[in-house]
């Protein structure tokens, strides 16, 4: 076959354009991969900096739909990465927030409402898929072993496919899944050390989320600094006691006068099922003003509000639903949490 000069020229131009495009895409992809790796490395370097404690509010949401990822808080302390709760959307949020998911030292569960554990299976799986090379331990009260074994059972085929497809070198079956470390607490309200490593101590204590039992909070201590995580709770003497002098109290909050208005709206509309749910939930969460009083009484330095019901969107809602009622009662530093928010506690 003989090509005319014009056809030959067109072919050369098309081939060189294709070659050029393919070369420039190679470069674009290479640059993208390089930048994603360096972003992760830079984030990990900063988060594992031993001169400070860094808290990241991975998700501040609740079971009530909002723009927020469900509940989870990360604490980076003395080169360790501790995760508290793991609600829906947390695994993906960790990756988007460039958190070093392969290096989690422990996951701590506060209680067994799904907004606190729904993504536990994904966090365990993603940490392994992306390169975790150690045992991952999930700490929590009675029920944790059952929860973890349930996830491991439901991920059994997934784990098998990955190792079979990519090989033992890339997906070592030795490190798949997680180990449950279930603890029990005394009924007298005292705390118990449930984790201790290189000077970092995590204590757990009961909170009051009745009729949901068990429900616990955690207090993380290192070099004289302390961070308390409430879990879900009504106003609780025990939370007050274990929050004393905390540098950070990260607590749930409910604006009960607003939730009562939602309850009333369902009543007016004759929707009994949701009216009842809106009534019931007011008994096992802490009202925003009660939280302000608790934090003041415990002489908390900074109060961080998360797991807000209802969620607050924009300046006006944040101010009127949460800031103003808290300010009436609490004189310390106040942070109304947002997904991905970073709070730094320098070490002296
Ligand atoms: Zn919750
Ligand atoms: Zn709950």
How is 18-73 classified by DSSP, letter by letter? Answer: HHHHHHHHHHHHHHHHHHHHHHHHHHHHHHT-TTEEEEEEEE-B-SS-SSS-BSEE
> How far apart are the CA of 208 and the centre of ligand 2, in A?
10
111 C-alpha to ligand 1 centroid (Å)? 8
pLDDT of 240: 98
Distance CA 341, CA 337 (A): 7
Q: What's the rounded Cα separation, in Å, for the pair 113 and 252?
A: 14
Distance 233 CA to ligand 2 centre (A): 7
Range of lowest pLDDT (62-66, 176-180, 203-207, 288-292): 62-66
Give me the phi and psi of 111, to 5 degrees please.
-170, 180
Q: How far is the CA of 209 from the centre of ligand 2 (A)?
A: 7
**pLDDT score, position 7:** 73
Percentage with pLDDT > 70 across the chain: 96
Q: Return the pLDDT at 4.
A: 72
Q: What is the pLDDT of residue 169?
A: 96
User: Rounded mean pLDDT of the chain?
Assistant: 95
Q: What residues have their beta carbon closer than 5 A to ion ligand 1? A: 113, 115, 232
Site of tokens 């944790």: 144
Q: How many CA atoms lie within 13 A of 313 on its CB side?
A: 5
User: Does the 50-346 domain belong in CATH 1.10.3720.10?
Assistant: no
Which residue has better confidence, 189 or 348? 189
- 233 C-alpha to center of ligand 1: Å? 9
pLDDT tens, position by position, 61-84: 999 999 999 999 999 999 999 999
**Ligand 2 center from residue 287 Cα (angstroms):** 14
How many percent of the chain have pLDDT more than 90? Answer: 93
Q: What is the pLDDT of residue 3?
A: 60
Alpha carbon distances (Å) from 149 to 69, 97, 138, 152, 312: 24, 28, 11, 5, 36
What are the Cα distances from residue 13, in Å, to 2, 9, 228? Answer: 18, 6, 66
Residues in Cβ contact with 96 at an 8 Å cutoff, skipping those fewer than 6 apart = 340
Cα(18) to centroid(ligand 1), Å: 54
**Domain ranges within the chain, ordered by starting residue:** 1-47, 50-346
Q: How far is the CA of 266 from the centre of ligand 1 (A)?
A: 22
Whether residue 338 is predicted with pLDDT greater than 60 in this model: the reply is yes
pLDDT mean over 23-39: 92
Q: How high is the pLDDT of residue 10?
A: 73
Quick one: which of 102, 40, 108 has its CA closest to 74?
Answer: 108
pLDDT digits (tens, 9 = 90+) for 102-153: 999 999 999 999 999 999 999 999 999 999 999 999 999 999 999 999 999 9
Distance 144 CA to ligand 1 centre (A): 16
Q: Look at residue 22 in the predicted model and tell me its pLDDT.
A: 67
Distance 105 CA to ligand 2 centre (A): 24
Distance 138 CA to ligand 1 centre (A): 18
Q: Which ligand is nearest to the CA of 253?
A: 1
Q: At what angle do helices 272-280 and 256-269 cross, to 10 degrees?
A: 160
The ligand placed nearest to the CA atom of residue 86 is: 1
- Looking at residues 309-326, what average pLDDT do you find? 96
158 has pLDDT over 80: yes
Per-residue pLDDT of 271-310, as tens digits, reads 999 999 999 999 999 999 999 999 999 999 999 999 999 9
Q: What's the CA gap between 97 and 86, in Å, rounded?
A: 15
What pLDDT is recorded for position 120? 98
CA of 337 to the centre of ligand 1 (A): 15
Distance from the CA of 128 to the center of ligand 1, in angstroms?
27
**Does 20 have pLDDT greater than 90?**
no
What is the Cα–Cα distance from 68 to 60, expressed in whole angstroms?
A: 6
Q: Which residue has the higher pLDDT, 51 or 17?
A: 51
How do strand 248-254 and strand 225-229 relate by DSSP bridges? parallel
């Amino acid at each position: 076959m003989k090509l005319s000069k014009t056809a030959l020229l067109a072919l050369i131009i098309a081939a060189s354009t294709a070659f050029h495009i393919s070369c420039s895409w190679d470069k674009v992809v290479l640059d993208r991969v390089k930048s994603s790796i360096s972003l992760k490395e830079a984030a990990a370097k900063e988060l594992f900096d031993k001169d400070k404690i860094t808290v990241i509010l991975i998700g501040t949401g609740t079971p009530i739909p909002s723009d927020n990822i469900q509940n989870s808080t990360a604490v980076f302390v003395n080169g360790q990465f501790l995760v508290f709760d793991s609600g829906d959307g947390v695994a993906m949020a960790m990756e988007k927030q460039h958190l070093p998911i392969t290096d989690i030292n422990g996951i701590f569960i506060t209680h067994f409402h799904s907004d606190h554990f729904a993504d536990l299976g994904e966090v365990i799986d993603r940490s392994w898929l992306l390169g975790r090379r150690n045992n991952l331990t999930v700490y929590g009260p009675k029920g944790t072993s059952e929860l973890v074994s349930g996830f491991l059972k439901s991920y059994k085929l997934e784990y098998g496919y990955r190792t079979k497809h990519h090989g033992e070198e890339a997906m070592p079956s030795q490190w798949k899944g997680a180990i449950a470390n279930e603890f029990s607490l005394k009924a007298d309200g005292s705390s118990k050390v449930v984790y201790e490593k290189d000077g970092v101590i995590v204590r757990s204590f009961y909170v009051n989320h009745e009729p949901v039992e068990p429900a616990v909070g955690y207090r993380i201590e290192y070099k004289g600094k302390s961070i308390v995580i409430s879990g879900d709770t009504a106003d609780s003497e025990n939370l007050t006691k274990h929050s004393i002098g905390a540098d950070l109290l990260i607590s749930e909050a409910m604006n009960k006068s607003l939730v009562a208005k939602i309850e009333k709206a369902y009543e007016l509309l004759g929707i009994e099922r949701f009216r009842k749910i809106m009534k019931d939930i007011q008994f096992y969460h802490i009202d925003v003003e009660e939280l302000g009083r608790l934090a003041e009484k415990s002489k908390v330095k900074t109060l961080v509000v998360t797991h807000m019901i209802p969620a607050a969107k924009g300046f006006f809602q944040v101010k009127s639903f949460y800031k103003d009622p808290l300010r009436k009662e609490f004189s310390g530093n106040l942070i109304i949490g947002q997904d991905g928010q970073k709070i730094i506690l320098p070490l002296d």
